[in-house]
Amino acid sequence: MSTERWKPSVTVAAVIEREGRYLLVEEMTPEGLRLNNPAGHLDPGEGLAAAAAREALEETACPFEPQALVGVYLARLRREATGEDITYLRFAFCGTVGEPIPGRALDHPVVRTLWLTLAEIRASQARHRSPLLLQCVEDHAAGRRFPLELLHAHPSLQDLPLKV
């Protein structure tokens, strides 16, 4: 029996919709160019909604203000090429987005941003980085929204030196 505790990788995603189109990123991965929601890992000492705002800004150059939780998701990713086997715990948020900040670079490995319809996202599933991309967008389109008050970040997150 292993004494090592299993821990999923905690991520956040921004589900950004405007006039029937969703803002996605196209990013370079070990499998080639893939589509994803603006998303990334929760950083030490960071709240979930703040992480989603940060990741959206870094990956799209657009300021994002989370207004609701769309859902909480689990998925497992196994990469044959590298042997990676990671379980992701994703918190997806929707909210308002501003225009891109002029001159702000997109985070590596993001190549560009795209605005796609739900039908276009469904048709591009072979290019999705995560199986959660479509599920998050489908849940948003279905009207799933949970208040941000559902989440609580205790002040102790910022009180002590973090073990990374």
pLDDT of amino acid 83: 84
Residue 164, pLDDT > 90, answer no
Q: Say how far apart CA 151 and CA 87 lie, in whole Å.
A: 21
CA atoms within 13 A on the CB side of 86: 11
pLDDT of amino acid 78: 85
In three state form, how does the secondary structure of the chain look?
CCCCCCCCEEEEEEECEECCEEEEEEEEECCEEEEECCEEECCCCCCHHHHHHHHHHHHHCCCEEEEEEEEEEEEEEECCCCCCEEEEEEEEEEEEECCCCCCCCCCCCEEEEEEEEHHHHHHCHHHECCCHHHHHHHHHHCCCCECHHHCCCCHHHHCCCCCC
Q: Which of the two residues, 45 and 115, has the higher pLDDT score?
A: 115
pTM for this predicted structure? 0.92
Give the pLDDT band of residue 2 (cuts 50, 70, 90).
low
Q: Delineate the domains of the chain, giving CATH numbers in brackets.
A: 9-143 (3.90.79.10)
Side-by-side strand order, sheet with 9-15 = 39-41, 9-15, 85-97, 64-78
In angstroms, the first-to-last Cα distance of the chain is 25
Residue 161, pLDDT > 70, answer no
Among 45-49, 127-131, 141-145, top mean pLDDT goes to: 141-145
Omega before residue 161 within 30° of 0, cis: no
Condensed to tens digits (0 to 9), the pLDDT of residues 16-28 reads 999 999 999 999 9
Residue 160, pLDDT > 90, answer no
Q: What mean pLDDT comes out for the span 67-84?
A: 90
pLDDT of amino acid 156: 86
Condensed to tens digits (0 to 9), the pLDDT of residues 105-125 reads 999 999 999 999 999 999 999
